[in-house]
């Protein structure tokens, strides 16, 4: 369920990489230029960015520096894609704050390996790690939720919502925080919509004798009790 942003202006490469990453189970958002990439990151912080060295509107390193300078995106894992393996380029890339680089042409296998490595390294915060609390188990990789082995069917949004709660059990989250984390920073959504989705989630969980896991904290928000 990891969110990957691919910033690449060459359509053939973009298609190839996106296809492979999707096949590997990642959620891929593509951007053709730096401006689009900034907006995409702004809307939802991806787990990883694949960033092409050459972009039509701005050098990739420039964009990278921009992200590094911003607190919210400072630790965003970035894998740079460089056309040639010129050492100078690589130095510049790492200097700008790239976590890793890959020179074209690269094999699909190598790409996947690097991506996985970066995601794993960047995750003390388990986003690909499955979470298990009480009788509930949620696996982001396979997008499955089970209660004592029995699968529970959830909509994508409900899944993200539940995942968010299970990542920090017993913590109270305000509706604003929930919106930011589950929907994305820049969405324009009614706070009360959270309530509705909480209800739907509760309803589904209740079918598996889990009616008490999500608790209302009046005036504060909701929390997962475990």
Q: Which residues bind DNA (CB under 7 A)?
A: 153, 155-158, 183, 187-190, 192-193, 195-200, 202, 216-221
Q: Does 171 bind a copy of itself (CB under 8 A)?
A: yes
**What residues contact residue 168 under an 8 Å CB cut-off, 6+ apart?**
224
What is the sign of the dihedral through the CA atoms of 58, 62, 67 and 70? negative
Alpha-helical (H) ranges within the chain are: 11-23, 34-43, 60-68, 87-96, 108-121, 156-167, 175-178, 192-206
Cα 94 from Cα 185, distance rounded (Å):
28
56 binds, among a copy of itself, DNA, none (CB under 5 to 8 A by kind): none
**Shortest distance in whole angstroms from residue 156 CB to a copy of itself:** 4
Cα 10 from Cα 51, distance rounded (Å):
12
Three-state DSSP class for residue 3: strand
Instruction: Compare residues 149 and 219 and give the one whose CB is closer to DNA.
Output: 219
> What are the tokens at 176?
């604003």
Q: Does 9 bind a copy of itself (CB under 8 A)?
A: no
**Shortest distance in whole angstroms from residue 62 CB to DNA:** 32
Cα 67 from Cα 129, distance rounded (Å):
26
Instruction: Compare residues 12 and 105 and give the one whose CB is closer to a copy of itself.
Output: 105
Q: Does 212 bind a copy of itself (CB under 8 A)?
A: no
> For the chain, what is the radius of gyration of the CA atoms?
19
Q: Does 108 bind a copy of itself (CB under 8 A)?
A: no
Cα 181 from Cα 174, distance rounded (Å):
11
Three-state DSSP class for residue 76: coil
H or E, element range at 122:
none
Instruction: Compare residues 15 and 157 and give the one whose CB is closer to DNA.
Output: 157
Instruction: Compare residues 11 and 220 and give the one whose CB is closer to DNA.
Output: 220
Instruction: Compare residues 72 and 199 and give the one whose CB is closer to DNA.
Output: 199
Contact track, a copy of itself, 20-49, x by CB under 8 A: --------------xxx-xx--x-------
**Shortest distance in whole angstroms from residue 25 CB to DNA:** 12
Q: Does 121 bind a copy of itself (CB under 8 A)?
A: yes
Which residues would be at the binding site for a copy of itself (CB under 8 A)? 34-36, 38-39, 42, 57, 66, 87-88, 90-91, 94-95, 100, 110, 113-114, 117, 120-121, 141-144, 155-156, 170-172, 176, 186, 188, 217-220, 223
């Amino acid at each position: 369920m990891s969110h990957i942003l691919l910033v690449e202006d060459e359509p053939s490469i973009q298609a190839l990489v996106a296809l492979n990453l999707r096949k590997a189970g990642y959620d891929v958002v593509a951007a053709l230029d730096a401006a689009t990439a900034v907006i995409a990151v702004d809307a939802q912080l991806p787990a990883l960015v694949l960033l092409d060295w050459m972009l039509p509107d701005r050098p990739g390193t420039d964009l990278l520096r921009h992200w590094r300078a911003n607190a919210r995106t400072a630790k965003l894992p970035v894998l740079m894609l460089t056309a040639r393996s010129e050492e100078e380029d690589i130095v510049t890339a790492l200097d700008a704050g790239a976590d890793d680089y890959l020179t074209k042409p690269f094999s699909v296998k190598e790409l996947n390996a690097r991506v996985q490595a970066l995601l794993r390294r960047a995750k003390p915060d388990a986003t690909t790690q499955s979470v298990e609390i009480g009788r509930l188990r949620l696996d982001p990789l396979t997008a499955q939720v089970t209660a004592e082995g029995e699968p529970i069917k959830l909509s994508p949004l409900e899944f993200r919502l539940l995942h968010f709660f299970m990542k920090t059990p017993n913590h109270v989250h305000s509706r604003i925080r929930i919106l930011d984390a589950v929907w994305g920073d820049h969405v324009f959504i009614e706070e009360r919509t959270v309530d509705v989705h909480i209800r739907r989630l509760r309803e589904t969980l209740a079918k598996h004798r889990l009616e008490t896991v999500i608790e209302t904290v009046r005036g504060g928000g909701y929390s997962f009790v475990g």
